[in-house]
Structure 1
Amino acid sequence: MTSDAIELRRALADRIGESGSLTDPAWRAAVAAVPRELFLGTDVYRLDGPEWEPVNRAEAGEEAWLRQAYSDTTWVTQVDGTDAADAKGPLAGRPTSSSTLPSLIVRTLEVAGIQDGDRVLEVGTGSGYSTAILCHRLGDKNVTSVEYDPGLAQSAAAHLRAADCSPTLVAGDGLAGYADGEGAEYDAVVATCSVRHIPRPWLWQVRDGGTITTTLSGWMTASGLIRLTLDDQGVATGRFVGDHVSYMLARPHERPPRPLFHRLPGEVRTSRVDPGLLEDWTGHFVAQLAAPSAESWTSGEQVVLSDVATGSQAWTEAAGTGWTVHQDGPLRLWDQVEEALITWQGEGGPDQTAFGLTVTDETQTVWLGTPEGPSWRLPV
């Protein structure tokens, strides 16, 4: 361990503290102590235009590599299942694993409200860095971490051993949680991946009064960070915290492949809302709640929606001082999104802190204002 690495870690903890993402001294001490360079392996990806370029530690040089490791940056380690160390050259594709920026990790842990002595289930080991942060605070015996990708689980285990951490590590589907032979009753579940809905096993494996902290996302890639508290009736409730936070979707919740998209004229009408509302963080989230099986993207000034399940589509275009919308297929996607946006705007267009989630064994409902207010069911 070099003195340069120690100083860089302390400087990283200071920068995150100054940004406001890190207020708990125990998490600050963990950031200052855990050697992040151990969790990047020998290669990472760097985005270069439309492609991901592999960067090798030896070729970059040790000083540059350490500065990279201790920047508050997410470093992609896998693209479409190909590890950076195995890439033969630049790749086009989507990231499937990364070492998440430290400020996001500690912000998520602070939202979770974890206390000394808590028993925590982490869903999504990834590189193992966040697991090491948990181990530093709670001790190895109180940390269980589950990783879906067997190769990533193996490399994370090696990284953690190098950092002198020995939590319980499991290769498997974290959406099923992890119940050991004596049964599980965690104080907290923390997910470092996003989900489209709350997996029921998480409810079953958290003690009464325990918490579930995760990012709720979907196929439009909108997201919201939330902490839920489980009551003695098995019902979990909570409000979104309003942070602009996103994690990769858990792989079982990723959208299925869809065929090449072609715009169809469909039925045309005037839109009642400005499609630009989807550029707002909360507006985008509301649109996703209204059309949970659809993807969205922009093409020039147009907003495009495509439903993965039915092939339905909608796309907008400017028309004078307003907009028209084209809709085709069994679902009227823009009708659904438009109605939700009008409801949200009618309540004053508040940010995500005005939204909450109630989860039972049967239903999962996002609501606006209060549980009795406007609401949308999640795709369970």
Structure 2
Amino acid sequence: MSNEEQELRLRLAKMLATNGHLRTRPWREAVEAVPRHEFLRGGFFDRIDGSGPTAWTPITPHTPLWLERCYEDESLVTQIAGTIVPGDLRGEIMRAPTSSSTMPSLVVRMWEDLQVEDDDLVLEVGTGTGYSTALGCHRLTDERITSVEVDAGVSARAGTALAQCGYHPQLIVGDGLAGHAAGSPYDRVIVTCGLVSLPYAWVEQTRPGGTILATLGGWMFSSELARLTVNDDGTASGRFLGGQISFMLARPQSPPPLGMLPDIDQGDERLTTLGADVINDWDTRFVAQIAAPRAQRISLDRDGRTEHVLVDVGDGSWAALAETEGRWTVRQGGPERIWDDIETHVRLWREAGTPTLEKFQVTVTPDGQKITW
């Protein structure tokens, strides 16, 4: 370990503590001890800003300032398109990221919010690079951490990095949405991917009084970190913690390709007092997602105006909104009226005084997930 590496870790810990993310001594000691760069030896991708589609270029340990970048408080993309890692590429790629090293401030904030005790057994869903896993091992010991990762290659690289740093947790390759029943019951479950709905399997695998920490949202990409307590009756309930937290969605819950759009010139048309611009606001969009969690949003420029389209690929429902001379109209088609449902939810939320998302209640039962205010 070089002096530079040690200084970078100490600097990162100090910055995270100053900004209020590191709140307790055990977690600060973990950040000071775990070398994040060892979990980024395979490199990461840098975004290339431009007017066209997002492009990415590889940054490797041979790239100037690679080590310093590893200790910046930023998320670093480590995989593109499900298989491509930085070492596979020379030049640029225009595909979607599929794995990353989460920004350290969010990693440690989540561990702090999990409120672990020294003897807790923890299930981590989403091993990723293994950096978060290593922090958990340092704080709780290897034997108390089980980490599940759906991607065998990602898990293998994390395992190598963890071993290099002296950590040997139980690493499972599998669908994290199913948890890992063989190691249950857990005292804590921490989830490093986004969700549309929280799997009941996690509730079943957590002891009564235990905690589940996960990010919930929808396919319009407004999401929040929720902390739920598992109850004696087999349900889990809790609230959002605030902060507009975003993660890549769990692969089984990611939105499907839009494919061919429906004929949005057909359908029922009416005036609406609620325009598409309202869902530019994070909280309002979250409320809209409660009504239509599987609606995807796109914009189309047609006939000299912009149309805002919501599509639920699963059932074929859609809504298209446009503004003309300050008045909004909506056309809708398919088995459900997406915009009618969104209008109702937003109206009720506004009538309740637009409570902040921290005041919302999340409940998970064998029948599914419910979010209310």
TM > 0.5 between the two? yes
TM-score where L is the length of structure 2:
0.93
User: Which residue type is aligned with residue 230 of structure 1?
Assistant: V
Q: Is the 8 A contact 1:218 1:249 kept in 2?
A: no
Q: Which amino acid aligns with 1:166?
A: H
CA 263–54 in structure 1, closer or farther in 2 if over 3 Å, else same: farther
Distance 1:317 1:179 in 2: 49
The normalised TM-score by structure 1 is 0.91
Give distance in 1, aligned partners of 2:300 and 2:130. 37
2:327 aligned with 1:319, yes or no?
no
**What is residue 53 of structure 1 aligned with on the other side?**
57
Gaps of 5+ in 2: none
Does residue 276 in structure 1 map to residue 280 in structure 2?
no
Aligned residues, how many? Answer: 363
Query: Which one of the candidate residues 172, 175, 180 is aligned to 1:173?
Result: 175
C-alpha deviation, 1:83, in angstroms: 1.6
| 1:292 has 2:288 as partner | no
Aligned-partner Cα distance in 2 for 1:12–1:260: 47
Of 110, 113, 123, which residue of structure 1 is paired with 2:112? 110
1:194-209 pair list within 5 angstroms: 194-209=194-209
Task: Give 1:299 deviation, angstroms.
Answer: 5.0
Kindly provide the CA deviation profile for residues 189-224 of structure 1, in whole angstroms up to 9, marking residues without a partner as x.
100111221212211111110011100122222211
For residues 241 and 315 of structure 1, the distance between their equivalents in structure 2, rounded to whole angstroms, comes to 33
Distance of 2:244 and 2:313 partners within structure 1: 25
Percent identity between matched residues is: 42
Deviation for aligned residue 1:263 = 6.0
In 2, the alpha carbon distance for the partners of 1:302 and 1:261 equals 13
Q: Secondary structure at the match of 2:269?
A: strand
**Residue range with higher mean Cα deviation, 3-12 or 297-306:** 297-306
Say which is worse superposed, 326-335 or 226-235, in terms of deviation.
326-335
Aligned equivalents of 1:209 and 1:298: distance in 2?
45
Contact 2:222 2:244 in 1 (8 A): no
Q: Distance in 2 between matches of 1:263 and 1:40?
A: 46
Answer whether contact 1:273 1:342 (CA < 8 A) is retained: no
* Cα distance in structure 1, aligned partners of 2:59 and 2:187: 39
Q: Output the CA distance in 1 between the equivalents of 2:41 and 2:138.
A: 20
Structure 1 letter corresponding to 2:316: G
Q: Secondary structure at the match of 1:261?
A: coil
How far residue 90 of structure 1 moved from its aligned partner, in angstroms, is 1.3
What secondary structure sits across from 2:181 in the alignment? coil
| Distance in structure 1 (CA, Å) of the matches to 2:214 and 2:123 | 12
Q: 2:327 & 2:274 partners in 1: Cα distance?
A: 9
Structure 1 unaligned runs (5+)? 369-380
Give the C-alpha shift of residue 302 in structure 1: 4.5
Shift of residue 126, structure 1, vs aligned partner: 0.3
Which is worse superposed, 47-56 or 74-83? 47-56
Q: Is the 8 A contact 1:146 1:171 kept in 2?
A: yes
Map of 2:364 onto structure 1: 359
Q: How does 1:178-327 map to 2 (within 5 A)?
A: 178-180=180-182, 184-261=184-261, 264-266=264-266, 267-298=268-299, 302-327=307-332
Distance 1:207 1:215 in 2: 20
- 1:321 Cα deviation (Å)? 2.6
What is the identity, as a one-letter code, of the residue corresponding to 2:33? Answer: A
Contact 1:54 1:89 in 2 (8 A): yes
Q: Does 1:32 align with 2:36?
A: no
| Deviation (angstroms), 1:133 | 0.7
**Residues 333/77 of structure 1: CA separation in 2 closer, same or farther (3 Å cut):** same
Q: CA RMSD in A?
A: 1.6
